[in-house]
Amino acid sequence: MAGKKKIAIMTSGGDSPGMNGVVRACVRMAIHMGCEAYCVYEGYEGLVRGGNFIRRMQWLDVRGWLSEGGTLIGTARCMAFFERAGRLAAAKNLVAEGIDALIICGGDGSLTGADRFRAEWPSLIQELEDTGVYTALQLQPYRHLNIVGLVGSIDNDLSGTDATIGCYSALARVCYAVDLIEATASSHSRAFVVEVMGRHCGWLALMAGVATGADFIFIPEKPREDNWREEMCGVVEHHRKLGRRKTIVIIAEGALDREGNKITSEMVKDLLADKKGLGLDTRITTLGHVQRGGTAVAYDRMLATLQGVEAVKAVLEATPETPTCVITINENKIVRKGLIEAVQETKMVAKAIENQDFDRAMGLRDTEFSEQYRSFMMTTAVQVNKKMQVPEKDRMKIGFINVGAPAGGMNAAVRAGVAYCLSRGHEPIAIYNGFAGFARHHGDSPLGAVRPFDWLEVDGWASKGGSEIGTNRELPSESGMETIADLIEQYKFDALFLIGGFEAFHAVCQLRKAREQFPSLCIPITLLPATISNNVPGTEYSLGSDTCLNELVEYCDKIKQSASATRRRVFVIETQGGRSGYVATLGGLGVGATAVYTPEEGVSLEMLAADVRHLKKVFAQDQGQSRAGRLILINEKASKVYNARLIAEILREEAHGRFESRALGVVFTPVAKVEEEKTDCPTRRPKAEFWLEMKDIGDILPGRPKYVPRESDLTGIKPKDVKRGIEGF
Ligand code: ADP
């Protein structure tokens, strides 16, 4: 890194939840790396106008920004930037402030503008020299413009990244709205056409369709066949015949038919309401800007933070030869990609749609998009399309079983699995209350543990929390392996589908090992990881872990706000997560916790002492920029000695302030491989936890001092020693 850099951050184009997280991460990371941080207010408009629109930012200026919706530094559409004169003014302003790197967070329009600016930069600088605005000497350090892009967009419409900052918050809002609408639709037996944003990109509509179990969706990239009217009415009619009292059709604002004509919400409504056809009482709800508003969900906060940090690193590592990059996420990894390529590919999708080359448009979206589309089609059209069914001889009887503690999404997974089975002609069977239920209540009574699914009931499970078929922690060995093996034979199960966390994983391991002894266990057995702790080996993501993080982040936001009347408050919050610090670490990253204590790292007196000193310093410097309280998160098993209450008491004692305490992409991997190579059984967590490196970022951004473990660190001490130790430092 040559000298100290001045890095400016701006947000541009349509706002999206998470943009503030980007600004916070960039500002703090820049300062952490010894650079000066600036914000350009009001997007390109601010860049063109300069002066007061470009402001130096300090560490505390961005405090609490993770919990704020929209963008606090403003955004605008700027016509002037489309013209060379506007871009020339922007160049002049950057040079005037001495800024040598620019990080831009926006959609494809903003990134196109950024790319143009970068390409033109040498000629703009030359013009500033030729017209005598600056001398060649003055311009010398600015011959090359260092630009890095970040994708902030609710549509998830940029090629080359699995997710854009804000898209999951928008999706959460759409799902929430559809849940509300479903309740009223069901009451009146109505049909609703829900219009969501997405001019060229159907991601929101598709994912909302999958997540809420909508009857039908319309997206721009994949128009239905010419008979879409009959097709939609056929599906809706079928669902009504099965007993569904509500009809939900989700339509992207850019929905098209195969000829490229617009399909509007009105057209869909008229069809559903047509007295000669379905004759449903139908309403339209256009969700509009509700989708943009509000604070970011945990995922977007994490993405904003990690990508913001990466953007600053990219700026510092760039040389004049490095191609301009955009920060993306692919399969859970933050990656730098060519900005120009990403923007060009995105434009190609729009072009393909315009040319009605829909296969190409679909092909340009990532593979997950097509898979989601296929699974939506498979799970919505239950038993409608006989063509989808497998030949009689290949049909299977599949037992569904939930194991371990309930996690958000378990029911949705059962629903999708059952729908898939029914569509393909398989026979899904519910095994109630885990292996314990199976072993003890298997009789043939109507309330026995083994029952066929009632589709009408299951259909409503997409948005239900908990576990409708009941779950139990008991392992097959505890229930009796022989009993379980006999029952599998007795009920003639061809396959077992387990949904659950570490216990479920353990159960699968046991069943696999017992195969030699019990041939009836030699059937396909699959585990879908679902646990809030996200500690199942072999996967980076378990169902329910994001729901848990969202709840935690929302809760922490409220707690922080509750301190605003008194200021100078620290809350110590205990999180779940077993012996895995995932929930605490990611939760901490999402709310900007001052410190996070995890079982992986443990808690020591030295660590506490360092954090107390840090808090004292922080409060001494506090100029009242934000009145929100500060948070410390501690995992329930981080330490045998220090719990949330004790830490809060130590802080209160030491800081003499006012503190308060509160104890408060699918890959199949063979289980044998995961068990042998990737599992740390005693601690019930994976050996390599992909998120561990995020812990550092979670510490850097709130300014927590780096803690280096020392030999002298005390472990295994008793509470009374703690008191003594603290008094001594
Ligand atoms: P988004 O970034 O959300 O796609 P827009 O398409 O409105 O939003 O772009 C935001 C701003 O980026 C525009 O108002 C304009 O200032 C700038 N911009 C977009 N496209 C270009 C371009 N081709 N050349 C120069 N500036 C552009």
354-365, pLDDT tens digit by residue?
888 988 888 888
Asked if residue 49 belongs to a known ligand binding site, the reply is no
| Substitution site in 10, 12, 71, 147 for ligand 1 pocket (most atoms within 8 Å of beta carbon) | 12
490 φ, ψ to 5°?
-60, -45
| Substitution site in 82, 108, 347 for ligand 1 pocket (most atoms within 8 Å of beta carbon) | 82
pLDDT at residue 663, rounded to an integer: 40
pLDDT at residue 711, rounded to an integer: 47
Q: Which of 72, 326, 296 has its CA nearest to residue 168?
A: 296
The whole-angstrom separation of Cα 651 and Cα 643 is 12
Q: pLDDT class for 146, splitting at 50, 70, 90?
A: very high
Q: Is the pLDDT of residue 22 over 60?
A: yes
| Substitution site in 10, 15, 44 for ligand 1 pocket (most atoms within 8 Å of beta carbon) | 44
Check residue 152 and report its DSSP letter.
B
pLDDT at residue 363, rounded to an integer: 82
- Average the pLDDT over 604-623 and give the result: 86
Asked if residue 107 belongs to a known ligand binding site, the reply is yes
Asked if residue 16 belongs to a known ligand binding site, the reply is no
* 107 Cα–ligand 1 center, Å: 8
Q: From atom 12 of ligand 1, which residue's Cα is the shortest distance away? A: 110
* 151 Cα–ligand 1 center, Å: 13
Q: How far is CA 492 from CA 421, 481, 487, 496, 519, in A?
A: 16, 16, 8, 11, 12
Q: Is the pLDDT of residue 628 over 50?
A: yes
pLDDT at residue 15, rounded to an integer: 95
Mean pLDDT of the chain: 89
- Average the pLDDT over 333-341 and give the result: 94
Q: Is the pLDDT of residue 45 over 90?
A: yes
pLDDT at residue 723, rounded to an integer: 31
Q: From atom 16 of ligand 1, which residue's Cα is the shortest distance away? A: 78
Torsion angle defined by CA atoms of residues 656, 563, 31 and 332, in that order, rounded to the nearest 10 degrees: 120
Q: Structural domains in the chain?
A: 6-163+296-346 (3.40.50.450), 167-291 (3.40.50.460), 382-529 (3.40.50.450), 545-701 (3.40.50.460)
The closest-lying atom of ligand 1 relative to the alpha carbon of residue 44 is 16
pLDDT at residue 359, rounded to an integer: 87
pLDDT tens track for 279-325: 999 999 999 999 998 899 999 999 999 999 999 999 999 988 889 99
The closest-lying atom of ligand 1 relative to the alpha carbon of residue 117 is 25
Q: Is the pLDDT of residue 371 over 90?
A: no
Asked if residue 233 belongs to a known ligand binding site, the reply is no
Residue 691 near residue 602 (C-beta atoms within 8 A): no
Check residue 429 and report its DSSP letter.
E
Task: Return the exposure string of 83-108: e unless at least 16 CB atoms fall within 10 Å of the residue's CB, then b.
Answer: eeebbbbbbbbbbebebbbbbbbbbb
pLDDT tens track for 30-44: 999 999 999 999 999
Tokens of residue 148, six digits: 């890095």
Q: Which of 361, 82, 18, 333 has its CA nearest to residue 198?
A: 361
Q: pLDDT class for 101, splitting at 50, 70, 90?
A: very high
Tokens of residue 208, six digits: 């909302």
pLDDT tens track for 543-570: 999 999 999 999 999 888 877 666 678 8
pLDDT tens track for 171-188: 999 999 999 999 899 899
Q: Is the pLDDT of residue 657 over 80?
A: no
Q: Which pTM value belongs to this model?
A: 0.90
pLDDT at residue 617, rounded to an integer: 85
Active-site residue numbers?
A: 155
Q: From atom 20 of ligand 1, which residue's Cα is the shortest distance away? A: 109
* 14 Cα–ligand 1 center, Å: 9
Asked if residue 534 belongs to a known ligand binding site, the reply is yes
State the helix-helix crossing angle for 644-655 and 719-728, rounded to 10 degrees: 20
Residue 439 near residue 487 (C-beta atoms within 8 A): yes
Check residue 21 and report its DSSP letter.
H
Q: Is the pLDDT of residue 407 over 80?
A: yes
Q: From atom 26 of ligand 1, which residue's Cα is the shortest distance away? A: 113
* 94 Cα–ligand 1 center, Å: 19
The whole-angstrom separation of Cα 182 and Cα 31 is 48
Residue 301 near residue 698 (C-beta atoms within 8 A): no
Asked if residue 283 belongs to a known ligand binding site, the reply is yes
Q: Is the pLDDT of residue 666 over 70?
A: no
* 307 Cα–ligand 1 center, Å: 21
Say which residue, 659 or 325, is predicted with more confidence. Answer: 325
Q: Is the pLDDT of residue 7 over 90?
A: yes
- Average the pLDDT over 649-657 and give the result: 77
Say which residue, 282 or 383, is predicted with more confidence. Answer: 282
pLDDT at residue 727, rounded to an integer: 28
The closest-lying atom of ligand 1 relative to the alpha carbon of residue 45 is 16
Residue 438 near residue 484 (C-beta atoms within 8 A): yes
pLDDT at residue 337, rounded to an integer: 96
Q: From atom 10 of ligand 1, which residue's Cα is the shortest distance away? A: 13
pLDDT at residue 719, rounded to an integer: 36
* 112 Cα–ligand 1 center, Å: 7
Residue 2 near residue 32 (C-beta atoms within 8 A): no
Residues with CB under 6 A from ligand 1: 12-14, 44, 77-78, 81-82, 106-110, 112-113, 116
How many CB atoms are closer than 10 A to CB 623? 8
Asked if residue 500 belongs to a known ligand binding site, the reply is no
Q: Is the pLDDT of residue 575 over 60?
A: yes
Q: Is the pLDDT of residue 1 over 50?
A: no
pLDDT at residue 104, rounded to an integer: 98
* 77 Cα–ligand 1 center, Å: 7
Q: Which of 537, 431, 530, 428 has its CA nearest to residue 484?
A: 431
